[in-house]
Amino acid sequence: MNNFINIFEMSPRDGLQNEKNFIATNDKIKFINKLSLCGFRKIETSSFVSARWVPQLADASEVFMGIKRNENVKYTALTPNEIGLDNALKVNVDEIAVFAAASETFSIKNINCDIESSILRFEPVINKALKNKIPVRGYISCVAHCPYEGNVDPKIVSQIAEKLVNMGCYEVSLGDTTGKGSPDHTLKILEECLNVLTPDKLAGHFHDTFKNALKNIEVCIDNGIKTFDSSVGGLGGCPYSPGAEGNVDTEKVNQLLLLKGYQTNLDIQKINECSKIALKLKKDGTYD
Contacts with ligand HMG, residue ranges (CB under 6 A):
14, 17, 47-50, 53-54, 78, 80-81, 83-84, 99, 110-112, 139, 141, 175, 177, 205, 207, 238, 240
Q: Whose Cβ is closer to ligand HMG: residue 245's or residue 251's?
A: 245
For residue 54, the partner it binds in Mg ion, ligand HMG, none, with Cβ less than 5 to 8 A by kind, is ligand HMG
Q: Which member of 146, 220, 238, 274 is catalytic? A: 238
Angular region, 204: left φ>0, alpha ψ -120 to 50, beta rest: beta
CA distances from 203 to 78, 131, 219, 281, 288 (A): 16, 24, 12, 27, 34
Name the segment binding Mg ion (CB under 5 A); options: 9-17, 20-28, 49-57, 64-72.
9-17
Q: Does 9 bind Mg ion (CB under 5 A)?
A: no
Q: Does 27 bind Mg ion (CB under 5 A)?
A: no
The CB-of-127 to ligand HMG minimum distance in angstroms stands at: 17
Q: Does 14 bind Mg ion (CB under 5 A)?
A: yes
C-beta separation of 89 from 48 below 8 A = no
The CB-of-20 to ligand HMG minimum distance in angstroms stands at: 15
Nearest Cα residue to 69 out of 32, 31, 16? 32
The CB-of-65 to Mg ion minimum distance in angstroms stands at: 25
For residue 141, the partner it binds in Mg ion, ligand HMG, none, with Cβ less than 5 to 8 A by kind, is ligand HMG
Name the segment binding Mg ion (CB under 5 A); options: 12-20, 30-38, 77-85, 113-121.
12-20
Q: Whose Cβ is closer to ligand HMG: residue 47's or residue 186's?
A: 47
The CB-of-140 to Mg ion minimum distance in angstroms stands at: 11
Measured CA to CA, the distance from residue 124 to residue 17 in angstroms comes to 25
Please give the single-letter amino acid code of residue 155.
K
Q: Whose Cβ is closer to ligand HMG: residue 40's or residue 99's?
A: 99
Q: Whose Cβ is closer to Mg ion: residue 158's or residue 177's?
A: 177
Name the segment binding Mg ion (CB under 5 A); options: 6-14, 20-28, 108-116, 189-197.
6-14
The CB-of-246 to Mg ion minimum distance in angstroms stands at: 9
Annotation says 238 is catalytic: yes
Beta bridge partners of 137: 97, 171
Measured CA to CA, the distance from residue 9 to residue 278 in angstroms comes to 12
Q: Whose Cβ is closer to ligand HMG: residue 183's or residue 273's?
A: 183
The CB-of-103 to ligand HMG minimum distance in angstroms stands at: 10
Instruction: Tell me the catalytic residues.
Output: 238
Chain residues in the site for Mg ion (CB under 5 A): 14
